[in-house]
Structure 1
């Protein structure tokens, strides 16, 4: 289930407190899930607190307003500030684990005639987690508005702003992950949604912060422009969209320099099969109607973007597709459903707009 929450509160601490109070049970349940996940990957409670506190220090320097919101969530939900930070720093904490994780497939198409970009993403995560998530609608610091999806207590993941900028999110892994404290990638996503209106502005934000873990953020704007921004502690690279050609990404680096330091995938990885599937379905990504675009990518065949739990893997290490998203930067709209593309019909499909009412 994907819940919805909307607020006009402009004070970050008050906004976080209100969210924590409204969804405290869900926030605490999500925290318990992550505590179990960390422990199952030999990341002990003391290490989790240490990494969370280090993340707090970096966020305080680069995004103090977001830290105030995280602390507000902690107060409202009745958990410690470092525990609230752990939810948005989960990628950085998992970087200390020896297990390689896999998450998500993203596709973007910018028509050659300058019309609006089309996007689609599947969100994959562990079967035992994230049964309930949330789409939040709230003000940005400059008076714009953002809509963002995430697990309860996370500041952002996939989202769009009223400036006509959207962000998709896929995990990556690099041998330098966990080598230094950095701005958590979920916080970086939120910084881009809160502050940027163009691809150039988004890249300036990326270039201004240290990173502690790897991810690819696919930034799409109504310019129109788009780029898969591959992030790692070793550096970052932007793979820019070419109008008339699909821009695709799964869970391996495409930039040659960053790919040279990539953590090897597991024997169960489907990242290259999913990328090949998207490459063979480029015409589907071109479809202008979001739900029709999603439906055109639905498939039961092996190697599609629909990820099912793999029974060859340990019970706590089975990713699956949990939700599907599209972003319309002209309408500033996030489309979503808590399901595989193959299971989504009109009755399941929902939208949330970041447009500020006139």
Structure 2
């Protein structure tokens, strides 16, 4: 198996998985902690302040999702770092992005009723600073119940885009609203992602994530294989409230602004950007590809390679006009076949690379 990132495969209880993960990814976790220490410092957070914030997120995670907390605690132990630092890493969105949206990431989904194979497909471009590429890995965990999760993640975190052995998968992108940072106790954005992947049915995943106490807004495209072409739903998760979108013409797409009426202020109004057209364009391209026949994985990849408004496109490239610290590009592309439990991954803007595949 050839993959563009380190591959960590662990087994056992949450504690055993976490410790083995921390040991195996010690170097990448140290790199990621250094990257975010600089980002935390840039917004005025000292190491002590970030660690204290991590401890607060740890307390709420332990109450709400004890198995995830057990794994994160053990990850810290295996990596030889403090739990507060690991939880701060998992809460990097909450700690850094109180006001500035990340104008990147596009997620796609297609029901099996509209695909050539009859399989449910989801996909995304994950856009972030290019320096982050060196601190990424593909994490596979199989717990004591036999439940397997394969997820692309930043080292020290437990999830980002991922797929589990029950045919349930998620893609994610950020939202920014006036409700971010205004609530007290919360679980980190990235813990919410892991909570979805820990479940074996779409209904249970929704029960886990919709009422979760949050302090940052996110968009979660979640799907599961099954009869009748499987199912997809897009969740706009804002602190204290959620909105949801269903497939139209068999497809879903989302970028970094709200598309449901939640009664909150979307901070995309303050910044504009490519998010305002990316999701609509992606839907239009998917529907057009479906008209002459059925959608394929290649059709989804073609949408993720779209260069309209280059470099600020669905296929994101570095904009040389941006300050270095604010640069963004498509760091990785992910495509998932939920029926076959196949996870495809490409490094860098997808126009430049093909996907490598692993099974869940």
Fold shared per TM-score above 0.5: yes
Q: Provide the rounded CA distance (Å) in 1 between the counterparts of 2:217 and 2:353.
A: 30
Q: Which residue of 2 aligns with 1:100?
A: 101
Quote how far apart the aligned CAs of 1:247 are.
0.8
1:195-249 Cα deviation digits (max 9, x unpaired):
2322x2221112342111110110011131111111111311121224x332110
Given the alignment of the two structures, is residue 189 of structure 1 paired with residue 206 of structure 2, yes or no?
A: no
Unaligned runs of 5+ in 2: none
Quote how far apart the aligned CAs of 1:154 are.
0.5
Aligned residue pairs, count: 346
1:14-41 Cα deviation digits (max 9, x unpaired):
2211111122111011011011112112
Q: How does 1:1-358 map to 2 (within 5 A)?
A: 1-8=4-11, 10-96=12-98, 98-112=99-113, 115-140=118-143, 142-180=145-183, 181-198=185-202, 200-223=203-226, 224-242=230-248, 244-258=249-263, 260-265=264-269, 267=271, 269-283=273-287, 286=290, 288-291=295-298, 293-295=300-302, 297-302=304-309, 304-345=313-354, 349-354=355-360
Q: Provide the rounded CA distance (Å) in 2 between the counterparts of 1:192 and 1:301.
A: 33
The answer on whether the counterparts of 1:173 and 1:252 sit within 8 Å (CA) in structure 2 is yes
TM normalised by structure 2 equals 0.89
TM normalised by structure 1 equals 0.90
Unaligned runs of 5+ in 1: none
The answer on whether the counterparts of 2:243 and 2:261 sit within 8 Å (CA) in structure 1 is no
SS in 1 for 2:268: coil
The answer on whether the counterparts of 2:28 and 2:155 sit within 8 Å (CA) in structure 1 is yes
1:110-162 Cα deviation digits (max 9, x unpaired):
14469322222100011332334111111146322111110111111110111
The answer on whether the counterparts of 1:119 and 1:285 sit within 8 Å (CA) in structure 2 is no
SS in 2 for 1:143: coil
Name which of structure 1's ranges 302-311 and 175-184 shifts more when overlaid on structure 2. 302-311
1:301-338 Cα deviation digits (max 9, x unpaired):
32631111222222101111111111111011211111
The answer on whether the counterparts of 1:2 and 1:337 sit within 8 Å (CA) in structure 2 is no
